[in-house]
Amino acid sequence: MKLTKVLLLTSMMMLIPLCANSAITVDQSTSKEFVMNQGFSEDTYEIITVEKNRGVGKEYYTAAERRDRELNPVLRFFRKLYSYTDPGAQDFSFYHHNNNPVPVYSDL
């Protein structure tokens, strides 16, 4: 009698966690709404989107990156010079940087 109670209680305890599991897909967990509701910033969402597109072989540029690419060459040169001298300035190399075993000038 005692063994059946223990087995019944054990089986009930094993079934309880199965009811609480919910199915969520990768697309749902990487959507902008989900990422923002989890307390992350839009920059984090942009990084997720860049990595998802990189994984399937597509190139993706953010809106700020597209604006930066549309600048005329003189302004782009000064923008790159500014981002090179100021470590806090964003030059968008974080999103599209490949890890190479040999260091190059863009690693500075």
62-72 confidence digits (pLDDT tens): 888 888 888 89
Question: Tell me, what's the pLDDT at 75?
Answer: 92
Residue 67 lies in a domain: yes
CA atoms of 37 and 66, how far apart (whole Å): 26
Q: Which domain holds residue 73?
A: 24-98
Q: How many domains does the chain have?
A: 1
Average pLDDT over residues 83-105: 75
Residue 8 lies in a domain: no
Residue 32: pLDDT band with limits 50, 70, 90? very high
End-to-end CA separation in angstroms for the chain: 73
* Selected residue with higher pLDDT from 96 and 50: 50
Residue 15 lies in a domain: no
pTM of the predicted protein model: 0.58
CA atoms of 91 and 106, how far apart (whole Å): 11
Q: Hey, how many other C-beta atoms are within 10 angstroms of the C-beta on 45?
A: 18
| Nearby residues of 84 by Cβ (< 8 Å), 6 or more positions away | 91, 108
Q: Hey, how many other C-beta atoms are within 10 angstroms of the C-beta on 47?
A: 16
